[in-house]
């Protein structure tokens, strides 16, 4: 029996040992899905605190219930380690490591490079490897493949390599890792066959495409679509502000059209790992081809300017009440990048707080999911008594519209509210002490 057939047999019988490199928002849910499907899963992460928590049966991610992790750990289906040498026993490996941007705006692929280099030390015939970390088209073929082929193995014969973009939306209940369709693109047809066979054993639907490059581009299209449309409604908010119109009413009116329109909402900026960052990977790649991705660059410019626009709304609102921004006491409600999660990655709230403090405001914050934040390297603790702070400050600034907040009580007890998310809805529309984005 050849190498491919032996590996497919292991996968079919669920005797293949699965390793997940990176146990964050993508890796841990994926590890749990494979373990629940009947595979033995070993998660690998350099952060010992994560590994210790997982091995004690505890989850550190809201979307993954501790009771689920505890059961899988107890049964022996799931374990974690900081030791990469365990990869020598793995048959199937998913790489789920971060891909941030450098301060220069260039892609930072150091986590992928270090992970693949570690993997290459222990790679062996009969191994299937899937990269899930979002990156620019060509990364799997140009960066990962040469490092693995250097082991003297032949792609599509001795080992199998593919790209499958993660589609995690933290806090979402209707679409999870299990039932969100997974795009899969292999380096060769055999790579596609093996990787698809593996993922199909744990995930409801796998959509195969012709190459890893196509799969990488599909992911960037998904997030670029959202980034550009959010940029459009953010610019609409700027336009409506100048024309003295209610942007929320305009959007709601347009959304009544049952076809040809998709509702997006403005806000104080973009957050999360994907939407603010991933399109810039494509923009960077295209610069090497002497092409300027104009839509991406323009949308990024608009979106990155929204925190300053939010600050200007706070300044104007205070001015209308006879208060200067400098010296005013402000309470920011919600610092995560979206409602009802604990994820601070690229959150615009951090930019808004920093800008307000730069202008001399005394800024406190409250978030039911986050107790401490870091502003320019300085630790800042949230207020313990939110309603007491609401009544004490000169203005409340709603940045993240968590569903657990009692907005009617906040409205009643506050002096002034700047609502950047339309969290108050109709109650805030004609209220003289509410300023909306």
pLDDT band at 276; cut points 50, 70, 90: confident
In this structure, what CATH number is given to the domain that contains residue 404? 3.40.50.720
Give dist(CA 148, CA 146) in Å, integer.
Answer: 5
Residue 330 domain-assigned (yes or no):
yes
Q: Are residues 205 and 247 in the same domain?
A: no
Share of the chain above pLDDT 90, in %: 88
Residue 405 is given by DSSP the state S
Q: Residue 356: what pLDDT?
A: 97
Q: Residue 102: what pLDDT?
A: 78
Share of the chain above pLDDT 70, in %: 99
Helices 348-358 & 306-320, crossing angle to 10 degrees?
50
Q: Are residues 278 and 307 in the same domain?
A: yes
Residue 144 domain-assigned (yes or no):
yes
Mean pLDDT score of the chain: 95
Identify the CA nearest to 267 among candidates 352, 175, 207, 378: 352
The gap from C-alpha 258 to its chain's centroid, in whole angstroms, comes to 29
Q: Residue 283: what pLDDT?
A: 87
Q: Averaged over 73-96, what is the pLDDT? A: 97
Residue 219 domain-assigned (yes or no):
no
Residue with tokens 């940045």: 399
Q: Are residues 191 and 233 in the same domain?
A: no
pLDDT at 336 over 80: yes
Q: Name the domain boundary from 157, 183, 210.
A: 210
Q: Are residues 156 and 264 in the same domain?
A: no
Q: Are residues 345 and 403 in the same domain?
A: yes
Q: Averaged over 203-213, what is the pLDDT? A: 97
pLDDT at 49 over 90: yes
Q: Are residues 204 and 254 in the same domain?
A: no
Q: Residue 285: what pLDDT?
A: 86
Give dist(CA 8, CA 198) in Å, integer.
Answer: 8
Give dist(CA 11, CA 3) in Å, integer.
Answer: 12
Q: Residue 278: what pLDDT?
A: 78
Residue 252 domain-assigned (yes or no):
yes
Q: Averaged over 396-411, what is the pLDDT? A: 97
Q: Residue 207: what pLDDT?
A: 98
Residue 295 domain-assigned (yes or no):
yes
- CB neighbour burial string for 234-269, b if at least 16 within 10 angstroms, e if fewer: bbbbbebbeeeeebbebbeeeeeeeeeeeebbbbbb
Q: What is the DSSP string of 29-66?
A: HHHHHHHHTT-EEEEE-S-HHHHHHHHTT---STTS-H
Give dist(CA 395, CA 329) in Å, integer.
Answer: 7
Q: Averaged over 342-350, what is the pLDDT? A: 92
Q: Averaged over 356-374, what is the pLDDT? A: 97
Q: Which residue has the higher pLDDT, 286 or 32?
A: 32
Q: Residue 374: what pLDDT?
A: 94
Q: Are residues 180 and 233 in the same domain?
A: no
Q: Are residues 51 and 145 in the same domain?
A: yes
Q: Residue 287: what pLDDT?
A: 87
Q: Are residues 131 and 175 in the same domain?
A: yes
Q: Residue 255: what pLDDT?
A: 97
Q: Name the domain boundary from 183, 210, 237.
A: 210
Q: Are residues 180 and 250 in the same domain?
A: no
Q: Are residues 200 and 325 in the same domain?
A: no
Q: Residue 289: what pLDDT?
A: 87
Q: Name the domain boundary from 180, 210, 240.
A: 210
Q: Are residues 42 and 72 in the same domain?
A: yes
Q: Averaged over 62-90, what is the pLDDT? A: 97
Q: Residue 273: what pLDDT?
A: 67
Q: Quick one: tokens of 305?
A: 């300017």
Residue 217 domain-assigned (yes or no):
no
- Domains: count for the chain: 2
Q: Averaged over 86-97, what is the pLDDT? A: 97
Q: Which of 96, 191, 240, 274 is catalytic?
A: 274
Structural domain that includes position 351 = 226-436
pLDDT band at 170; cut points 50, 70, 90: confident
Q: Quick one: tokens of 341?
A: 């999660």
Q: Is 274 a catalytic residue?
A: yes
């Amino acid at each position: 029996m050849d190498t491919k057939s032996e590996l497919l047999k292991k996968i079919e019988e669920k005797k293949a040992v699965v390793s997940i490199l990176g146990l964050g928002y993508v890796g841990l849910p994926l590890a749990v899905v494979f373990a629940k499907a009947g595979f033995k899963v070993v998660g690998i992460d350099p952060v010992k605190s994560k590994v210790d928590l997982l091995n004690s049966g505890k989850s550190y991610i809201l979307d993954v219930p501790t009771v689920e992790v505890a059961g899988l750990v107890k049964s022996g289906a799931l374990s974690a380690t900081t030791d990469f040498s365990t990869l020598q026993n793995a048959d199937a490996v998913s790489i789920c490591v971060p891909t941030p941007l450098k301060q220069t705006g260039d892609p930072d692929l150091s986590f992928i490079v270090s992970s693949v280099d570690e993997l290459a030390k222990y790679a062996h015939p009969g191994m299937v490897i899937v990269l899930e970390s979002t990156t620019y088209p060509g990364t799997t073929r140009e960066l990962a493949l040469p490092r693995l082929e250097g082991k003297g193995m032949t792609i599509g014969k001795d080992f199998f390599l593919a790209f499958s973009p993660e589609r995690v939306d933290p806090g979402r209940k209707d679409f999870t890792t299990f039932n969100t369709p997974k795009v899969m693109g292999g380096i060769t047809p055999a790579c596609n066959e093996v990787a698809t066979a593996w993922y199909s054993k744990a995930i409801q639907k796998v959509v195969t495409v012709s190459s890893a490059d196509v799969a990488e581009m599909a992911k960037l299209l998904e997030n670029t679509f959202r980034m550009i449309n959010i940029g459009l409604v953010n610019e609409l908010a700027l336009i409506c502000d100048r024309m003295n119109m209610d942007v929320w009413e305009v959007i709601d009116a347009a959304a009544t059209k049952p076809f040809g329109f998709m509702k997006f909402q403005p806000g104080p900026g973009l957050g999360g790992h994907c939407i603010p960052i991933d399109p810039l990977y494509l923009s960077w790649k295209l610069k090497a081809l002497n092409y300027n991705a104009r839509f991406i660059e323009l949308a990024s410019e608009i979106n990155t300017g929204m925190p300053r626009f939010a600050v200007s709304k706070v300044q104007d609102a205070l001015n209308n009440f006879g208060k200067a921004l400098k010296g005013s006491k402000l309470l920011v409600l919600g610092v995560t990048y979206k409602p009802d999660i604990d994820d601070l990655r690229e959150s615009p709230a951090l930019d808004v707080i920093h800008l307000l403090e730069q202008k001399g405001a005394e800024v406190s914050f409250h978030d039911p999911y986050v107790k401490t934040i870091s502003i320019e390297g300085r630790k800042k603790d949230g207020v313990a008594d939110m309603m007491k702070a609401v009544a004490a400050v000169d203005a409340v600034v709603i940045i993240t519209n968590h569903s657990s907040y009692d907005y009617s009580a906040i409205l009643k007890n506050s002096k002034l509210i700047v609502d950047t998310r339309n969290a108050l809805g109709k109650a805030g529309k004609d209220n003289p002490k509410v300023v909306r984005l």
